[in-house]
């Protein structure tokens, strides 16, 4: 094993326990709230998909998505953005 690879391996092994520590800071109540937010965002995106399938204009469906996600996710795209 090359010295640089060995160094990266040692650093990764030293940092691995910190990843678990960072995650453990979230209590069960925080996790429950995150689950609820993800489900609400998923429902909003599913509604946007149904809106587009119905033949409504893209702009209309986008406004409905933004309205459904207000205060729920960061940004204009409800926590998700993809290319067009």
Instruction: Please report where in the chains the tokens 């309205």 appear, as a residue.
Output: 67
- DSSP-derived secondary structure letter, 44: H
pLDDT at residue number 58: 94
Structure tokens at 79: 């926590």
pLDDT at residue number 52: 96
Whether 72 and 44 have beta carbons less than 8 Å apart is answered as yes
The contacts of residue 60 (CB under 8 Å, 6+ apart) are 51
Instruction: Please report where in the chains the tokens 């933004």 appear, as a residue.
Output: 66
pLDDT at residue number 74: 77
The pTM score is 0.61
Q: Is the pLDDT of residue 50 over 90?
A: yes
């Amino acid at each position: 094993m090359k010295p640089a690879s060995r160094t990266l391996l040692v650093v990764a092994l030293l940092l691995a326990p910190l990843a678990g520590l960072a995650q453990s800071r979230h209590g069960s109540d925080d996790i429950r709230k995150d689950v609820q937010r993800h489900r609400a965002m998923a429902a909003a995106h599913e509604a946007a998909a149904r809106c587009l399938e119905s033949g409504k204009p893209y702009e209309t469906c986008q406004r409905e998505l933004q309205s459904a996600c207000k205060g729920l996710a960061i940004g204009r795209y409800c926590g998700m953005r993809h290319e067009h």
